[in-house]
């Protein structure tokens, strides 16, 4: 099948003050916060690391008590070095189960990372850079969602990008999408498969001009875009609140369409965000990646050779040397153009 052109996506950027948000922490029982109960972990990765069940609570672990057994994690985090002390625990998951992980950074000197392996002996077993996260910087918490591709035991590593280690808190919970009960890491759960009622697969559905809905800063928690049935365009507005705030959108690309993505705005705004796209199930980090030009020119993508399917669009803050972090307001315009 031929695909693509879906859309021309225009981004208009201005500066504003804002912050990114995380999933509703009011769904975490109040008595679970500030817990001193330790997480059951092991110093090194092996098939006998302790098993932990889904617990809607934070568990403490002191990384300073462990070694740095995996210093390099290019398959998990897209980075070569992770020199901090690390520790491991196992989780038994069923196929298509969603798990959500938080790692709380205790001080501004902390830079935690978390990743999932599907092998207890192969350190290369992260199948994708989306099997782990280290999006934020010093003193900022990390959180990400993971869906098991098959039933089995998975091995979670809690690591640090800075040498050494501190006492941290880890949260791991399984969310049961479709049980008609909203749980932590879900935006909604209406117990049906109707994509046009504003909730689908426990994510918000955006089908008209509107603001994006937080949190959507992970590839498994995107806002779902549904183009108007009668044709025409739609505009989504949003703000990147910090350097670790990412916006993901999922979009079905029809056959016989051309896809054009572009960033627009003034020179200073274009330097502050990247536009990226990938197939939903692609093993590659991004099928197409267009970064804002440091000189100030806006990025542009035009592809007429993409297959029909489901794609992820990501808007990400760009880390420009010498440029201070700032919030970025933008508008995302989507309009399909048939071939």
Q: Which of 213, 298, 195, 297 is nearest to 252 (CA)?
A: 195
- Mean pLDDT taken over the chain: 76
**Residue 262: its H or E element:** strand 259-262
Measured distance CA(339)–CA(242) in Å, rounded: 38
Measured distance CA(169)–CA(211) in Å, rounded: 33
**Per-residue pLDDT at 265:** 55
3-state secondary structure 284-308: CCCCEEECCCCCCCCCEEEECCCCC
| Residue 183: alpha-carbon gap to chain centroid | 18
Measured distance CA(7)–CA(253) in Å, rounded: 9
Q: Are 98 and 147 in contact (CB under 8 A)?
A: yes
Measured distance CA(48)–CA(111) in Å, rounded: 27
**Per-residue pLDDT at 49:** 94
Measured distance CA(278)–CA(312) in Å, rounded: 5
Of all residues in the chain, the percent with pLDDT exceeding 70 is 70
**Per-residue pLDDT at 2:** 30
**Per-residue pLDDT at 334:** 78
Q: What is the pTM of this model?
A: 0.80
**Per-residue pLDDT at 293:** 56
Higher pLDDT, 119 or 127: 119
**Per-residue pLDDT at 142:** 85
Measured distance CA(122)–CA(120) in Å, rounded: 6
153 contact partners, CB below 8 Å, separation of at least 6: 51, 90, 91, 92, 93, 120
63 contact partners, CB below 8 Å, separation of at least 6: 84, 85, 86, 87, 158, 160, 164, 165, 166, 167, 168
Measured distance CA(198)–CA(203) in Å, rounded: 8
Measured distance CA(13)–CA(268) in Å, rounded: 9
pLDDT at 7 over 70: no
Residue 156 has which token pair?
Answer: 């979670």
Q: How confident is the model at residue 79 (pLDDT cuts 50, 70, 90)?
A: low
pLDDT (tens digit per residue) in 96-123: 888 988 888 877 777 888 889 888 877 6
Q: Which of 151, 147, 46, 175 is nearest to 93 (CA)?
A: 151
A 10 A CB-CB count for 83 gives 14
pLDDT at 128 over 80: no
The terminus-to-terminus CA distance of the chain in angstroms comes to: 13
pLDDT (tens digit per residue) in 272-293: 777 788 888 776 656 555 555 5
**Per-residue pLDDT at 94:** 92
Residue 194 has which token pair?
Answer: 């109707």
**Per-residue pLDDT at 320:** 66
Q: How confident is the model at residue 8 (pLDDT cuts 50, 70, 90)?
A: very low
Higher pLDDT, 91 or 35: 91
pLDDT at 181 over 70: yes
pLDDT at 135 over 80: no
Measured distance CA(133)–CA(41) in Å, rounded: 19
Higher pLDDT, 162 or 10: 162
Domains of the chain: 8-22+187-334 (2.60.120.380), 25-175 (2.60.120.380)
**Per-residue pLDDT at 32:** 47
Over range 183-210, report the average pLDDT: 87
**Per-residue pLDDT at 318:** 74
* Bond before 215 cis per omega within 30 degrees: yes
């Amino acid at each position: 099948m031929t695909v693509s052109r879906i859309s021309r996506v225009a981004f208009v950027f201005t500066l504003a003050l804002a912050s990114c948000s995380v999933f509703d922490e009011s769904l975490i029982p109040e008595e679970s916060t500030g817990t001193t109960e330790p997480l059951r972990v092991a110093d090194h990765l092996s098939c006998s690391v302790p098993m932990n069940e889904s617990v809607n609570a934070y568990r403490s672990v002191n990384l300073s008590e462990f070694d740095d057994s995996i210093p390099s994690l290019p398959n998990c985090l897209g980075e070569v070095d992770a020199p901090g002390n690390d520790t491991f625990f196992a989780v038994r998951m069923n196929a298509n189960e969603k798990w959500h992980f938080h790692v709380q950074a205790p001080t501004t000197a902390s830079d935690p990372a978390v990743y999932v392996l599907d092998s207890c002996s192969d350190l290369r077993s992260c199948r994708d850079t989306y099997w782990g996260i280290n999006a934020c910087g010093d003193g900022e918490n990390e959180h990400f969602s993971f869906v098991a591709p098959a039933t089995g035991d998975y091995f979670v590593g809690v690591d640090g990008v800075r040498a050494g280690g501190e006492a941290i808190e880890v949260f791991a919970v399984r969310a049961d999408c479709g049980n008609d009960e909203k749980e932590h890491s879900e935006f909604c759960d209406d117990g049906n498969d109707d994509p046009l009622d504003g909730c689908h697969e426990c994510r918000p559905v955006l089908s008209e001009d509107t603001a994006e809905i937080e949190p959507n800063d992970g590839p498994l928690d995107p806002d779902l875009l549904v183009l108007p049935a009668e044709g025409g365009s739609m505009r989504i507005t949003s703000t990147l609140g910090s350097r670790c705030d990412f916006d993901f959108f999922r979009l079905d690309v029809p056959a016989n369409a051309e896809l054009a993505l572009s960033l627009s705005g003034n020179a200073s705004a274009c330097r502050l965000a990247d536009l990226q796209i990938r197939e939903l199930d692609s093993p590659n980090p991004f099928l197409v990646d267009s970064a804002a030009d440091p000189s100030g020119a806006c990025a542009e993508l035009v592809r007429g050779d993409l297959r029909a399917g489901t794609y992820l669009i990501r808007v990400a803050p760009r880390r420009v040397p010498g440029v201070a972090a700032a919030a970025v307001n933008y508008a995302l315009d989507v309009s399909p153009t048939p071939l």
